[in-house]
């Protein structure tokens, strides 16, 4: 049994004394101990070395006391497993030297045996579960098929993912073939994570907000729905679509246990659009963690008042920024715990 099961109870919609709290990208970036490891080991070495991934995953649990751990990994381990080369370049971020631009390019894209190609992730889960010793739940995650496609086609991060959208709109058959292969791989990957003991999974649709509502249904949501359908018999599924407030009413009918909300959507609108019956997660502006701790605490209380303490997971509206002072992250967590 998980000793602190507050997060899992909130996902099930149970009445709680206070909301649980964790932060997207909490495993690293802003923690000094993480920065030391970053200086010694490159990004994918950290992802692919189970001992390092475990150490980084557990850091925020020990240092700032969040109510859930999220495995240190990256959404781009999926394309790597699918035979698409991914590097992490300093000052650039993700870099894919051979992007997918034509139907012919799909010939080199495989649906892998995830137990083999992503075995290092499973080893990290096994080690992390031992290290956590059932103190808090462990979250596994994956990127949405659309978000993965964005990187696979664009070849790097982008403000508008114009090449990815052009690919979808000029070669829709190839785009849907790639999306389906990513979906099939992601389902197998998340199911295996559950078998290895993660207590919930989150699907990150980081670039869903790049699409119009109509295109979102075609190129993103129907693939996320496949993932939810496949995983919900096995675990609690959280769906987070950044900039996707327009899809919240559809998401609420998906069977997901909870929906992430970014900071551009108010608590009132999020509750209204989702019918008020599903657990919501969010939505503190990550940049607001630059505010003085006293201001952070006041704003967090206000956020919880607006969402309500039940059917709510306190989180940021996107990942924590690398240059946030640790005391400010601590103030965010403490404010929720003091509610």
Nearest alpha carbon to residue 73 among 20, 133, 114 = 114
Helices and strands, counts by H and E, the chain: 16, 9
184 is in an annotated binding site: no
φ, ψ of residue 28 in degrees (nearest 5): 120, -165
- Could you give the CA distance from residue 211 to residue 207 in angstroms, rounded to a whole number? 8
* Pairing, β 312-316 against β 279-284: parallel
259: phi then psi, degrees, rounded to nearest 5? -125, 130
Torsion of CA 324, 41, 61, 304, to 10 degrees: 40
Distance from C-alpha of 24 to C-alpha of 145, rounded to nearest angstrom: 19
Q: Has 74 been labeled as part of a binding site?
A: yes
Name the DSSP class of 297: H
308 is in an annotated binding site: no
3-state percent breakdown (helix, strand, coil) of the chain, nearest 5: 50, 15, 35
On whether 41 is known to bind a ligand per the annotation, the reply is no
206 is in an annotated binding site: yes
Measure the CA–CA gap between 104 and 107, rounded to whole angstroms: 6
How far is CA 168 from its chain centroid? 23
Are 27 and 70 in contact by the 8 Å Cβ rule? The answer is yes
Residue 43 counted as an annotated binding residue: no
Secondary structure (3-state) at 206: coil
176 labelled binding-site residue = no
**Count of CB atoms within 10 A of residue 92's CB?**
10
Q: Is 211 left (phi over 0), alpha (psi -120 to 50) or beta?
A: beta
Judge whether 317 is annotated as a binding position.
no
Please spell the DSSP secondary structure of 124-139, one letter per residue. HHHHHHHHHTTSS-EE
The answer to whether 125 touches 196, Cβ cutoff 8 Å, is: yes
Q: Which residues are annotated as a binding site?
A: 25-29, 44, 74, 151, 206, 318
Q: Which residues are annotated as a binding site for substrate?
A: 25-29, 44, 74, 151, 206, 318
């Amino acid at each position: 049994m998980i000793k602190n099961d507050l997060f899992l109870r909130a996902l099930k919609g149970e009445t709680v004394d206070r909301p649980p709290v964790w932060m997207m990208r909490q495993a690293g970036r802003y923690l000094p101990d993480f920065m030391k490891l970053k200086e010694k080991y490159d990004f994918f070495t950290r992802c692919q070395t189970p001992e390092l991934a475990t150490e980084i995953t557990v850091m925020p649990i020990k240092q700032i006391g969040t109510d859930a751990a999220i495995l240190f990994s990256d959404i781009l381990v999926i394309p790597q497993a699918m035979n698409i080369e991914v590097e992490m370049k300093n000052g650039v971020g993700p870099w894919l030297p051979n992007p997918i631009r034509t139907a012919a390019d799909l010939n080199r894209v495989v649906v892998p045996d995830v137990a083999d190609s992503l075995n290092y992730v499973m080893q990290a889960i096994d080690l992390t579960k031992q290290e956590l010793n059932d103190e808090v739940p462990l979250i596994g995650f994956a990127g949405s098929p659309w978000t993965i496609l964005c990187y696979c086609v664009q070849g790097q991060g982008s403000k508008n993912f114009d090449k990815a959208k052009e690919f979808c709109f000029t070669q829709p058959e190839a785009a849907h073939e790639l999306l389906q292969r990513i979906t099939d791989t992601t389902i197998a990957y998340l199911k295996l994570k559950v078998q290895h003991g993660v207590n919930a999974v989150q699907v990150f649709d980081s670039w869903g907000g790049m699409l119009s509502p109509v295109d979102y249904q075609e190129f993103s949501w129907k693939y996320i729905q496949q993932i939810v359908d496949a995983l919900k018999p096995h675990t609690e599924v959280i769906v987070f679509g950044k900039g996707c407030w327009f899809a919240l009413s559809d998401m609420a009918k998906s069977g997901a246990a909870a929906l992430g909300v970014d900071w551009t959507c108010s608590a009132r609108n999020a509750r209204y659009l989702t019918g008020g019956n599903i657990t919501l997660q969010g939505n503190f502006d990550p940049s607001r963690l630059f505010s003085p701790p006293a201001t952070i605490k006041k704003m967090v209380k206000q956020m919880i008042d607006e969402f309500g303490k039940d059917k709510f997971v306190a989180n940021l509206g996107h990942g924590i920024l690398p240059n946030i002072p640790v005391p400010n992250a601590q103030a965010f967590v403490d404010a929720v715990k003091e509610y």
